[in-house]
Chain A
């Protein structure tokens, strides 16, 4: 089974406090810790487990810039056979459709039985996998929480639906699946593993290598554009306790008692 996993390097929101820049057109990126998008990492682990059972190779690709090579190397250290950087100035400002169009052109250069993405990245778009499948005319399933390889080029998959239920489907290969977090337990990657793949060349594909013309992708081809960032206001906001820890604990106890929480 030849598997392609599309990944992305994102600011780690569990590690970072997101601040807006003064112009309001981006977040402050200077001090952010970047890592592989969490769901993408699960997707790579799933690909490695499938290949361990069914044979084949795992290719990890990202649409990005040189900085993004670090996540490709991390996933190669996990066991991916090949990392590919898809990069071109013409790709800047692409919307979801643009990214899917670029990936579609890359997929056409190879022969993949299965294409995996993470269910969503830091922008919460949850869109590229479904778009890529439609461009390729492959079947698609989102929110996938288990994969079993069947005979006759088919998979049995489960999807996460509401209330903890699982929807079981059969799907034909080749297909695109978007992988939900928690599907497996991604293996640990140590510094040593990353050092071992440090010298492995990562090929770069540019727009011309993929036959992507100007205007199809990038800002010119984008129907959807982010205008600005702003601080969200959802509710009235919590009363933030400003006391010392001890004072805050006393206040919480008072509140618990008042609300009937302490017998």
Chain B
């Protein structure tokens, strides 16, 4: 088996959780393969990040360059191509940087590319058989990947469990070079998330709506239930895309991370990007017309029904109960 490299994402000296998940994925591909973490960056932040992965990686390659202080995918690709040996297997997190960087890297390495890998099913010589999903998580597939000339894989965040008791005690090797790095794309700045009228991260009950709400006027149906049970309304990406709710209400990897006690997923299919924003193992009740919706695989309780009919009836029953209690 070829050498395995994991590209590590870090911010302000802190390593992303995916660093440990990539190490676990590499071990599943081949426990005996030579495993190296590669980090790009600049200054003390880069050194701190390199140190932080020493327990998980037997070898750490550090590429320091002032132009790499912010991870611009095109510059990172150039830096990686300078050091990676041919026919390597390269693992990256399937996040916004991985999506930016990995496909082009595979072309320049002339290597196979598989994105958003969930697990490694089998390895036979240079043939990898991996699992991924299609149709918004409604169907899984096994994919064969011919890695003879190398392979680039992006790994779904959270899909691999970090190894316990990692004690690789890796050494850091400086692979920096002085050349000038330029790109056709230049990073300017990062804009912070918009804040809305309601902070969904602070509420213990969320009535969360997805595409199943169908039109803007129907958001009121969810709002009425939320008012009745003392919750606030949050949503999944399609609701924000359609401009039915503000971005600040979106739960998911590109929206807010929430930690409610109870999460009512109403007409939400359950794409992994959405589920990634739900932390703290809330009690999850899912209502969806489609019995195949992936949300039912992770919910505690599921109801196959049309939310546009179910929610108003639920609301009036709640009001009825509360009316009876105050009488």
Task: Report the bound CA distance from A241 to B138 in whole Å.
Answer: 20
| Cβ A139 vs Cβ B313 within 8 A | no
Given A126-B99, A142-B100, A238-B286, verify A135-B107 contact (CB < 8 Å). Answer: yes
Contact B283 A259 (CB under 8 A): yes
The answer to whether B96 touches A143 (Cβ under 8 A) is yes
Number of A-B pairs, beta carbon distance below 8 Å: 276
A169-B193 contact given A162-B95, A238-B300, A241-B302, CB 8 Å threshold: no
When each residue 153-189 of chain A gets 1 if its CB lies under 8 Å from chain B and 0 otherwise, what string results? 0001011111111111111100100100110010000
Q: What B residues does A36 contact at CB under 8 A?
A: none
Determine if A106 is an interface residue (Cβ-Cβ < 8 Å): no
Q: Which of B21-29, B37-45, B56-64, B290-298 contacts A (4 or more CB under 8 A)?
A: B290-298
Q: Which residues of A contact B205 (CB under 8 A)?
A: 261
Pairwise interchain contact A239-B302, C-beta atoms closer than 8 A: yes
Using known A-B contacts A13-B138, A96-B103, A142-B100, determine if residue A126 contacts B116 with beta carbons closer than 8 Å.
Answer: yes
B10 at the interface (CB under 8 A from A): no
What does the 1/0 interface line of A105-133 toward B look like (CB < 8 Å)? Answer: 00000000000000100111111111101
Closest chain-A Cβ to B205's Cβ sits at a distance in Å of 5
Q: How many A residues touch B, CB cutoff 8 Å?
A: 86
CB atoms of A143 and B314 under 8 A apart: no
Instruction: Give Cα distance in the complex from A13 to B140, angstroms.
Output: 14
What's the nearest-Cβ distance from chain A to residue B199, in Å? 12
Flag if B247 contacts A126 (CB, 8 Å). Answer: no
Check if A232 sits within 8 Å of B116, measured CB to CB.
no
Q: Are A100 and B107 in contact (CB under 8 A)?
A: yes
Choose, from A75-83, A195-203, A208-216, A245-253, the stretch at the interface. A245-253
- Cβ contact within 8 Å between A125 and B137: no
A43 to B293, CA, bound (A): 27
Complex interface: stretch among A46-54, A61-69, A222-230: A222-230
- The distance in angstroms between the C-alpha atoms of A129 and B186, with both chains bound, is 18
- Report yes or no: B137 in contact with A163, Cβ–Cβ below 8 A: no
Tell whether A168 pairs with B298 under 8 Å between CB atoms, given A224-B146, A238-B286.
no
The chain A residue sitting closest to B144, CB to CB, is A225
Give bound CA distance, A18 to B93, whole Å: 27
Q: Given contacts A227-B143, A255-B285, could you give 4 more A-B pairs where the C-beta distance is less than 8 Å?
A: A100-B107, A134-B107, A162-B95, A223-B149
**11 A–B contacts, CB within 8 A, in A order:** A14-B238, A100-B103, A124-B116, A124-B134, A165-B191, A169-B187, A178-B99, A229-B134, A231-B139, A240-B304, A262-B322
